[in-house]
Chains A and B, each alone.
Chain A
């Protein structure tokens, strides 16, 4: 029976890709290991190798087709003795067929992103953007790259260092094109040596340079956390104000998809508890750009927590010569009078979808994107809670000593008399991140949990 070749997933988060090129023609003989096609995501181009032998019977997806979903049949392979007439017998997509084509040696180990647009439930205009500003649609990945490129053009003291940031173009393609524009002096591939290069970055920053240190993920920054906290965060204070460091530590934080316990931790609470650090964790593409530019200009060490699941999301970014969003300001992205939902980074995806659900039941949620975790914009939270009398926090990290716990404490300290119900927390479950798809889903917050929590504090 003819074998179907399916569109392979190149990474845990890939849902679709472009079939950029066929390297074999219909009727050509194929041996196991032959490269038959090239497929491309916004992260990487990969070769598809045949795992079966035979003849390429029919190409089902022509080259140049964009957005081919994973597991779509892209071709059939005829075994010896089979002819085109047998093509009709090809089975429906099945697991067996999926295994018949595997991507060649994974050039990018890092998972590729979704390309779905970010939820567009934003009701409130961005106060940082003048009315009438032209907007461009960008992925968050592009917004980050543009922010770095703009700041590097502006200031020769800014440079990028990290693993695979230069020649590889970034493990998640965030630094794409920077090496070509700025050269190897300012876009520096480091050995796999987080503790060491974090210290090198801090030392360089102590002399007045402005490093952007990329961690392939913040999970690996645990190797470097001594330099981040003991050297970067504390030196200004320990030196009586003489010597600080302007440095950005950035990279993906928190859970990606199916990468298990050691690669899925959210460090929001860890870093945001440290005086001397600023901690930024944006959600929208515009905020990613404007806040990264602010972080690079900031004279203090800034932890810039990105989210891998969001890299491929698109959003509207203002076309302004110098779009900088001040660190330390939350944003009300949806206004409502019944309950305040507070989140940041990818937690906002649950929060915004939950707000849509709640609206169907007549509950108008006010959704606050904190954007910065330290310094925290307590005022915006408190003003909202004074209006709604109810609050729900949403985070992917653990609840104990979490950011939600901190927000709840601040609400209690500053708006206790305005509360009509105890503050509710929705968080990641109190377990290491499991690998199994169903368990992983259970370990993370869900829209349903946010809806439930909001209803509970509204006594509905």
Chain B
């Protein structure tokens, strides 16, 4: 599972973004997206295209965590959203690892034999919580992750030197988000 996380200001300015991979089930925490190295902008493209759906969902659901809101099937990318009360948007794109040419998405046992040589990350993540991007366990893990990031975001916003809409450059914040990603995803 690979993740791309981004924070957008109420006026759609990107404030922070980070790409990371799963650390669950022996994952090494390195993102491996399905796009070639030269096309990493696809992540941003997909994430930003979900903003329309988010802006619709925002007025029907009063919760802060809006769960999984959008899917981009060609890249098997799933997008979960969290809205802070002051209008900042946290968007998380998750993408299960590429299963080489297997039409049966393989659950557990089957896939591990199929993918024997496909590398440890693929095998490991098929058994991890995040293997199924829409399962309740994944929703819960993402919720915990979002809440932890939210706590750190509030701390950033409370800083007298931070103005709303400024890019978050703090290396401490980045470490904290990475740690939250390691812990939950």
Q: Is the A/B pair a real complex?
A: no
Hey, which bits of chain A sit against chain B, CB under 8 A?
A: none
Hey, which bits of chain B sit against chain A, CB under 8 A?
A: none
